[in-house]
Amino acid sequence: MAQSFPDLSDPDQYHAGPPYALFEQMRSAGPVQWNEQADDVGFWAVTGFDAIVDVSRQADLFSSAHSNGGHRIFNENEVGLTGAGESAIGIPFISHDPPTHTQYRKFIMPALSPGRLEGIEARIAERVERLFADVPLNETVDILPLLTVPLPLLTLAELLGVPAETWHDLHRWTDAFVGEDDPDFRQSPEAMQEVLGEFMGFSAALFDERRANPGPDIASLLVNTEIQGKPVALGDFIGNLILALVGGNETTRNSINHSLIAFANNPDQWDRVRADPALLPNAVKEMVRYASPVIHMRRTATRDTELGGKAIRKGDKVVVFYPAGNRDPAIFTDPDAFDIARPIRQHLAFGAGTHVCVGSRLAEMQLRLAFTEMARHVRRIEIMGEPSRVRSNFINGFKRLDVRLIA
Is 383 a domain residue?
Answer: yes
Is 6 a domain residue?
Answer: no
Give the other-Cβ count within 10 Å of 274's Cβ: 18
Q: What is the pTM of this model?
A: 0.95
Q: Which of 140-149, 154-163, 182-191 has the lowest mean pLDDT?
A: 182-191
Output the DSSP codes for 253-275. Answer: HHHHHHHHHHHHH-HHHHHHHHH
Is 1 a domain residue?
Answer: no
For residue 249, give the 3-state DSSP assignment.
Answer: helix
What does pLDDT average to over the chain? 93
Q: Over the stretch 53-87, which tens digit does the pLDDT of each residue have?
A: 999 999 999 999 999 999 999 999 888 788 777 76
Rounded to an integer, what distance in angstroms lies between the CA atom of residue 207 and that of residue 139? 44
pLDDT of residue 2: 63
Is pLDDT at 1 greater than 50 in this prediction?
A: no
Rounded to an integer, what distance in angstroms lies between the CA atom of residue 375 and that of residue 366? 14
Tell me the residue type at 315.
G
Is 145 a domain residue?
Answer: yes
User: Which segments of 225-344 does DSSP mark as H helices, in order?
Assistant: 234-265, 267-275, 280-291, 322-325
Is pLDDT at 203 greater than 80 in this prediction?
A: yes
Q: Over the stretch 308-337, which tens digit does the pLDDT of each residue have?
A: 999 999 999 999 999 999 999 999 999 999
- Give how many domains the chain has, as a whole number: 1
Rounded to an integer, what distance in angstroms lies between the CA atom of residue 2 and that of residue 4? 6
Rounded to an integer, what distance in angstroms lies between the CA atom of residue 73 and that of residue 13? 15
For residue 279, give the 3-state DSSP assignment.
Answer: helix
Domain range for 228: 11-406
Closest listed residue to residue 363, CA positions, set 208, 159, 209, 174 = 159
126 or 359: whose pLDDT is higher? 126
The CATH number linked to 78 is 1.10.630.10
Is pLDDT at 114 greater than 80 in this prediction?
A: no
Given a contact cutoff of 8 angstroms between Cβ atoms, the answer to whether 32 and 45 are in contact is yes
Is 3 a domain residue?
Answer: no
